[in-house]
Amino acid sequence: MRIAITGDFHLGFNQDALAQARNALDACKDAVAIVIAGDVFDSRIPRQETLNEALQLFSQAAESLSSNAVVFELDADGVITGLSNYPPILAVAGTHERRSKGLANPIHLLDSALAAVNLHARKICVQKDGEKVVFQAMAGVPEEFSRQVLKKMEFKPVKGAFNVFVFHQSLAEAMPFGESLAAQDLPDGFDLYVDGHIHWMMELIEGKKRIVIPGSTVVTQMRKNETRKKQVIIFDTQAGTYETREFSTRSFLYRDIVFENPATSAEVAAQVDSALTEMLAAGNQSQVPIVKLKLSGRLANGLESKDLDLTAIAKRYADKAMLHIDRDFERKDPLQADAEELQKARSDPRGVREISVELFIEALKRRDIELSHSQAEELLDALCEEDAARAAQLI
Ligand SMILES: [Mn+2]
């Protein structure tokens, strides 16, 4: 059975997200089933326009999928429930869609609208010509709880089927920094593991575990790794092999510029200018590319990074590139360090949500209020939604 693997559409992030998700799904047309490994949406409460576009996108994808597979659910006692009104499109919530317990996330909405099957904590079987592929999944959780939640959920493969485990977390083997799961923490015995969250394509083989990461369909973090081509994975469960298919995206160009010797404002501007000219000369782009320059190293005495004036350059390239210039010079001024940290937080893969929850917990602690992570999260949600009654109850 050919299953298409994709994820991290981040619908609502920008204007590219929808178009590129559509291109990715187009590349999956001849698969029997499509699995989407989380972060379908960029936020846990997408705008209605985004939801509307997403529903249209999914219904078009379901229509063009030339699959005649049967989809059903297995419960713990082996009872089968048919899901005949659903397309063989399976999705799980990522970290960007996570809401506190009891609240509906956008993947719940997709499932209720029969646009996709929510995989979280279920055993969903796709069957075609006698072959069964069973998908199980854990939705994205804060990294520090991932091990605990995985253990508690006790995932086990189903006999007589090809078993796929889908999750949405950092993985130590792919991103060796910060707190994260490692391959050994994943439940044993699955034939294939699919991980979202990481925005560039990878395959990892760790012991008996084969992990594929489809990568995102849109550039959100502007990391160097995101310059890689965006692709979907078409996995053949019988052959145990896969092919990757590129789809059209806005290109993303990245360059590090390091100033080894103390540089003046004019020198920085000149180097930025020549780098941009060179980078943009290479392509004949149908769409204006995203270009990120990361400037680091040393500035001339007395020159602070905030005093560097690059507005003339930004103006000159305004219609040739979506330009982002990161200033990561050796620091002198602590206030400026804060501003730079803030700028970095924007490309933090945890997303604004997790960062907010952590800041909120710290703020509560300073006021001697000790709440668990999930309680703090519920309280934050109640406050954001101006539900004073619920907030009062939680304190
Ligand atoms: Mn993501």
Query: pLDDT, tens digit, for every residue of 141-165?
Result: 998 889 999 999 999 999 999 999 9
Domain shared by 191 and 325, yes or no: no
Q: How many CB atoms lie within 10 A of CB 88?
A: 27
Nearest residue to 35 via CA among 63, 57, 4 = 4
Query: Which CATH number goes with the domain that contains 186?
Result: 3.60.21.10
Taking the centre of ligand 1 as the mean of its atom positions, its distance from the CA of residue 368, in whole angstroms, is 34
Domain boundary among 246, 261, 287: 246
Per-residue pLDDT at 284 exceeds 70: no
Which of 122 and 389 is assigned the larger pLDDT? Answer: 122
Domain shared by 335 and 361, yes or no: no
Nearest residue to 196 via CA among 55, 86, 114, 97 = 97
**Amino acid identity of 133?**
V
In which domain, by residue range, is 144 found? 2-246
CA distance 201 to 360: 33
Residues constituting the chain: 395
The pLDDT confidence band at residue 36, using thresholds 50, 70 and 90, is: very high
Domain boundary among 246, 275, 295: 246
Domain shared by 18 and 41, yes or no: yes
Q: Categorise residue 134: left if φ over 0, alpha if ψ from -120 to 50, beta otherwise.
A: beta
Taking the centre of ligand 1 as the mean of its atom positions, its distance from the CA of residue 14, in whole angstroms, is 13
Mean pLDDT (the chain) is: 90
Least confident of 71-75, 110-114, 176-180: 176-180
Domain shared by 30 and 85, yes or no: yes
Per-residue pLDDT at 232 exceeds 90: yes
Say how many domains are in the chain: 3
Taking the centre of ligand 1 as the mean of its atom positions, its distance from the CA of residue 325, in whole angstroms, is 22
**Amino acid identity of 205?**
I
Ligand 1 is an ion; its neighbours by CB within 5 Å are 8, 39
The pLDDT confidence band at residue 335, using thresholds 50, 70 and 90, is: low
Domain shared by 114 and 167, yes or no: yes
Per-residue pLDDT at 333 exceeds 80: no
CB under 8 Å to 239, separation ≥6 — which residues?
none
CA distance 165 to 155: 9
Domain shared by 336 and 390, yes or no: no
pLDDT reported for residue 345: 63
Domain shared by 226 and 325, yes or no: no
Taking the centre of ligand 1 as the mean of its atom positions, its distance from the CA of residue 278, in whole angstroms, is 31
CA distance 69 to 194: 21
Which of 74 and 306 is assigned the larger pLDDT? Answer: 74
CA 300, 302, 306: angle at the middle one, nearest 5?
90
Domain shared by 260 and 317, yes or no: yes
Taking the centre of ligand 1 as the mean of its atom positions, its distance from the CA of residue 130, in whole angstroms, is 35
Taking the centre of ligand 1 as the mean of its atom positions, its distance from the CA of residue 307, in whole angstroms, is 34
Q: How many CB atoms lie within 10 A of CB 113?
A: 13
